[in-house]
Amino acid sequence: MPDTRHAPLDALPRTAGGARVWAALGGAGLLTGAYRDGEVRSGIDPEGLAALLTAVDARFSIASTLSVSVQLATALPVLAAGRTPVARRALDRARTGRATVALAATDVTAGTDLTALRTQVRIEDDGLEVTGGKTWIANTTTAEHFLTLARHRPGRHFTHFTWVLVPADAPGVTVRPADSALFADSGVGHVTFDGVRLGRDHLLGRVGFGLPLFARHIGTERLAGAQWGVALCRRVLADTRRHLTGRAHGDRTLWDLDPVRQRFAACLVRVRELDALVAQLQEPVALHHDATAAATLKAAAGSAVNHVLTECGQLWGAAGFTTGGIQEVRAQAALFGIGGGATEVVLGTLADAADSVLADLAAPGTAP
Ligand SMILES: Cc1cc2nc3c(=O)[nH]c(=O)nc-3n(C[C@H](O)[C@H](O)[C@H](O)COP(=O)(O)OP(=O)(O)OC[C@H]3O[C@@H](n4cnc5c(N)ncnc54)[C@H](O)[C@@H]3O)c2cc1C
């Protein structure tokens, strides 16, 4: 039986940008499928999240899927930590597709060095003032709110950071699109906050709990990336196989060449490995916020997607360079090794947990 759950998406053109896809998903009541019992506050439902990402990936660009993925896996769960009417209203509008929300963590300073971020929030008795800037944020050009990670104290201690919900139309907020044809459909851009004055009800979660809240929910973004990686690799491999079986070579086709088949089969191994890892680690990430499991998924997805897309790009030959073809997808998919934590950074997390990973491997069946 064909899966008709996501049929409302079929009314959109394949070129639809992330905000349009989000609105269609929300309007059809499909966004809540990513959460347990349909409640954002109850946490991610891994199967529901994977089904949504697979449906979006099958129909739209990598950039549009990125826009949806960041909101589903991280922005909405962080927003759900807010208890004020302002936060509740923003969540309600986002989960019904009436608004998009940007998750603004990466700062004008290096994204991989998050505790060096400069954007600051001054917390006073009668309100807040936000000053600083965020770069390369998905959904910037379309967002109604910026979930902004800011420092309320100097220094790098993990209790010095707090989330602030900044309305995009507040005086002092300036948005500009990033110079990126590859990711324009994600609404990616840069935002500056120039002495933005807000009520204290725009603080999100407890003061000083910004980084723990981020750490808790970046794990689900890493899970989402791995689930999406499986869907993307499967789709690209299916397209590539169709191309190879139809491409004449001598009396037969490219698919009949043993070296080509072996190369393709090695890609199948990589995607099956990633799929198995997702199956093993999705519950620990979604239910227990296991940071080591999330880092493992992120590192594996970055490597597998890069391998599969590079190999498939080669196998398409010149035909891979058509507009919207595999070579463009490959360039966009390089984000799997950078966005939401560069591969090197998550490998560092994994190295820190080497003892526990090795202990898990010594007790098969009990890990993690
Ligand atoms: C299309 C797009 C959408 C994005 N969306 C969002 C979003 O919605 N929200 C958000 O907050 N951010 C977003 N980002 C930013 C993204 O999360 C950052 O790009 C990422 O965290 C890496 O930070 P950076 O680009 O500043 O890399 P840099 O810090 O400049 O690092 C560059 C490279 O240096 C190397 N490197 C860095 N640190 C180390 C280390 N410790 N060890 C070894 N090597 C290292 C790595 O190879 C790394 O890729 C987006 C980025 C893009 C391109």
Of 69, 54, 67, residue with least CA distance to 16: 67
- State residue 196 phi and psi, 5-degree precision: -75, 120
Of 137, 111, 133, residue with least CA distance to 120: 133
Q: Ligand 1: does its nearest atom lie under 6 Å from the Cβ of 340?
A: yes
Work out the pLDDT band at 364, boundaries 50, 70, 90.
low
Closest atom, ligand 1, to C-alpha of 182:
1
Question: Taking all residues of the chain, what is their mean pLDDT, rounded to a whole number?
Answer: 96
User: Of the residues 68, 106, 141, which should be mutated to test ligand 1's pocket, given the most ligand atoms within 8 Å of the CB?
Assistant: 106
CA–centroid distance, residue 132 to ligand 1 (Å): 18
Ligand 1, atom 45: closest residue by C-alpha: 344
CATH-assigned architecture of domain 102-207: Beta Barrel (2.40)
Tell me if 49 sits within 8 A of 73, measured CB to CB. yes
Q: Ligand 1: does its nearest atom lie under 6 Å from the Cβ of 347?
A: no
Percent of the chain at pLDDT exceeding 90: 94
pLDDT at 225 exceeding the cut of 90: yes
Q: Ligand 1: does its nearest atom lie under 6 Å from the Cβ of 338?
A: yes
- Whether 102-207 shares its CATH topology with 211-362 is answered no
pLDDT tens column, 1-44? 556 888 889 999 999 999 999 999 999 999 999 999 999 999 99
Give the tokens for residue 172.
């002092």
Closest atom, ligand 1, to C-alpha of 106:
11
Q: Ligand 1: does its nearest atom lie under 6 Å from the Cβ of 191?
A: no
Tell me if 133 sits within 8 A of 192, measured CB to CB. yes
Work out the pLDDT band at 131, boundaries 50, 70, 90.
very high
Distance from C-alpha of 116 to C-alpha of 114, rounded to nearest angstrom: 5
pLDDT at 367 exceeding the cut of 90: no
Residue type, 117: L
* Residue whose token pair is 């191994």: 269
Work out the pLDDT band at 366, boundaries 50, 70, 90.
low
User: Of the residues 112, 228, 332, 335, which should be mutated to test ligand 1's pocket, given the most ligand atoms within 8 Å of the CB?
Assistant: 112
CA–centroid distance, residue 342 to ligand 1 (Å): 6
Closest atom, ligand 1, to C-alpha of 186:
1
Homologous superfamily assigned to 211-362: Butyryl-CoA Dehydrogenase, subunit A, domain 3 (1.20.140.10)
CA–centroid distance, residue 113 to ligand 1 (Å): 9
pLDDT tens column, 76-116? 999 999 999 999 999 999 999 999 999 999 998 878 889 99
Tell me the domain boundaries of the chain.
7-100, 102-207, 211-362
CA–centroid distance, residue 334 to ligand 1 (Å): 12
For 117-145, what is the mean pLDDT? 97
In this prediction, residue 5 carries a pLDDT of 81
pLDDT tens column, 151-167? 999 999 999 999 999 99
In this prediction, residue 111 carries a pLDDT of 80
Tell me if 138 sits within 8 A of 178, measured CB to CB. no
pLDDT at 368 exceeding the cut of 80: no
- pTM of structure: 0.96
Ligand 1, atom 3: closest residue by C-alpha: 138
Ligand 1, atom 41: closest residue by C-alpha: 345
Distance from C-alpha of 60 to C-alpha of 162, rounded to nearest angstrom: 34
100-139 burial, b if ≥16 CB within 10 A, otherwise e? bbbbbbbbebebeebeebebbbebeeeebbbbbbbbbbbb
Distance from C-alpha of 260 to C-alpha of 166, rounded to nearest angstrom: 52
In this prediction, residue 112 carries a pLDDT of 86
In this prediction, residue 2 carries a pLDDT of 56
